[in-house]
Each structure stands twice: as C-alpha cells, then as structure tokens.
Amino acid sequence: ILILVILSIYIALDREDITAFLYRLVPPAYVPQARVLQVSVSRSFGGFLRGQLIMGLVFGLFTAVVNVAFGLPYAAVTTVAAGVLQMIPFFGPFVSWMPPVLVAMIMPNGPLLPVAILMAIAWFVTMNILQPRLMSGSVGIHPIVVLGSVVVGSKIAGIPGAIFGIPIAAVISALFCHWVARSREHGS
C-alpha cells in the first residue's frame, strides 16, 4: 500500500511529463486518436469515482436520517460505515444497509423492523434509480447501458468486471462516437 501511495504521488506530480512521454511513443498519425482515448478514459474513470462518492454521500445522509429518527446509538459510526460501504463498487452496496440494522438489532426492544424496511427502501432506490441515472450523467452513457455493462462485466470477468464494467463501457462508447463522427467527416 505504501508503494502504491508513493507511486500515486509521483504520477500526480509528474502527470504532464508522463503524458508528454506517452504521446511521444504514439506515431504522429495516431495522436488525435490517442488524445480521444486519454480524454474518454479520464472522463469515464473520473466520472465513475465521482458517481460512487455521491452515491455514498446520499446513502450516508439517508442513514443519518434513519439513525436520528429512531434515536439509534452510534449514529455517527453507522452513518459513515454505511456511506463508505455504499461507495465500494459491486459488493459494498449489498452490505451497506447493515450497520444501522445491526445496531437496531442489538438494542433492547430496538426498532429493528422499521429500520430494516427503511434501509431496504433506501438501498433499492439508490441501486435501481439513483445509480443508473447518476452514472449515466457522470460517465456519459445511458442508464440502460450502465446496468447492462455491470451485468456483462460480471459475466465476463466476475467481480472485477462488474466494478470496471461502467467505465470500460463509457470508454468504448466515447471511442465509438468518435469513430462515427470521423466516418461522417470522410463521407464513409
């Protein structure tokens, strides 16, 4: 982890030099395509990370409302845990509802059923309504493509495929749109 952190710092500091070096490796005739690839990859992965962050914040906010409404102890811990778990792609959302439910479960005469129902509703809305719309806006692809890319990615490569399915679909979409626009310019 330390090596990754140090490497990330060097890459962030020397980003322009690294990009310039990589462009020098590309044949001059393919530089425009390399620029399209660079822009689409940075937009797709950056948008994906922003979308995950927003989903975690929204789910954490809903968890905070549930915690306060029912007076659950450890509200700050369960709110942060639920939000962070929601940000973890693929498996995180499936367990993000658990922190406040577990607290309600261990409380004597705790409001287990209402907390579980509200967290299930929040999870359903976040995963089936918010995520496709948010990811489509963040990475620039239609919500149906977002859902399809997760399904196809998980079938092809399992958990890593499901995690990276959305940004990869966005890159492919950007390259395809660039190719279509370029084909129209040349009359083919």
Express each pLDDT in 47-75 by its tens digit. Answer: 888 888 999 999 999 999 999 999 999 99
pTM: 0.72
Express each pLDDT in 117-154 by its tens digit. Answer: 999 999 999 988 888 888 777 777 777 887 888 889 88
Please, which residues have CB within 8 angstroms of residue 19's CB and are 6 or more apart in sequence?
A: 38
pLDDT at 56: 93
DSSP code at position 188:
-
Express each pLDDT in 148-185 by its tens digit. Answer: 888 898 899 887 887 788 888 888 887 888 788 777 77
Amino acid at 173: S
